């Protein structure tokens, strides 16, 4: 009888340690997810998902752009006077309206999330007509399509005229990196494409 008790005690201790470790790991996991979702929130999901679907983009990319551009501040204004969630300048907004065959409206409408997200996604689509990969489209979204077109012609920045192996503007290189990193985090945290 004493031998059976001795055998059960180490097994009971091992099971207790296993359970404690399991609870600790699960608690840490949930804390990390909670912190991640706090740092990378999802807002305006109906608008993002609709505009992303209409323009053929994964929602995670649109969330990542909004996070990088404005941290979901619909009233954000940059030093270049880019406005709203996806930080669109007046000139770019009017260009996109013209390309969409719509009449020019007040650029203060860019502070309306539905309009900003709709045109931000549409601008990505227009840039995709000229540039063939996500990194190059993001570079054009940040630095402008004229700069990116010039970089693609320059062998210092592009070996094939299609992709950029080097982005000469540090701000734009950092921007592309930050958006792609944020996109991966959105995919992992929310299990979205």
Q: Which residues of the chain have pLDDT under 50?
A: 1
The predicted structure's pLDDT at residue 4: 54
Stated length of the chain: 193
The predicted structure's pLDDT at residue 14: 79
User: Are residues 154 and 39 in contact, defined by beta-carbon separation less than 8 angstroms?
Assistant: no
N-to-C CA span, the chain = 59
Which residues is 88 bridged to in the sheet?
Answer: 83
pLDDT digits (tens, 9 = 90+) for 92-123: 999 999 999 999 999 999 999 999 999 999 99
Distances (CA, A) of 77 to 34, 44, 52: 29, 19, 23
The predicted structure's pLDDT at residue 79: 94
The predicted structure's pLDDT at residue 25: 72
Q: Is 4 left (phi over 0), alpha (psi -120 to 50) or beta?
A: alpha
**Greatest CA separation found in the chain?**
90
Q: Model-level pTM?
A: 0.86
Quick one: tokens of 33?
């997810």
- Rg of the chain in Å (alpha carbons): 24
User: Are residues 28 and 43 in contact, defined by beta-carbon separation less than 8 angstroms?
Assistant: no
């Amino acid at each position: 009888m004493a031998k059976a008790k001795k055998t059960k005690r180490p097994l009971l201790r091992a099971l207790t340690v296993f359970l404690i470790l399991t609870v600790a790991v699960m608690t840490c996991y949930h804390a990390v997810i909670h912190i991640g979702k706090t740092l990378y929130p999802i807002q305006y999901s109906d608008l993002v998902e609709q505009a992303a679907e209409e323009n053929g983009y994964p929602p995670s990319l649109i969330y990542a752009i909004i996070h990088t551009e404005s941290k979901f501040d619909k009233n954000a204004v940059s030093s270049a006077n880019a406005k709203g969630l996806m930080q669109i300048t007046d000139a770019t907004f009017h260009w996109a309206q013209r390309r969409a065959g719509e009449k020019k409206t007040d650029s203060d409408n860019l502070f309306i999330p539905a309009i900003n997200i709709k045109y931000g996604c549409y601008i990505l689509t227009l840039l995709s007509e000229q540039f063939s990969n996500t990194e190059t489209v993001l570079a054009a979204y940040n630095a402008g399509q004229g700069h990116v077109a010039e970089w693609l012609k320059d062998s210092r920045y592009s070996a094939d005229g299609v992709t950029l192996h080097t982005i000469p503007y540090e701000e734009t290189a950092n921007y592309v990196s930050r958006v792609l990193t944020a996109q991966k985090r959105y995919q992992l945290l929310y299990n979205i494409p």
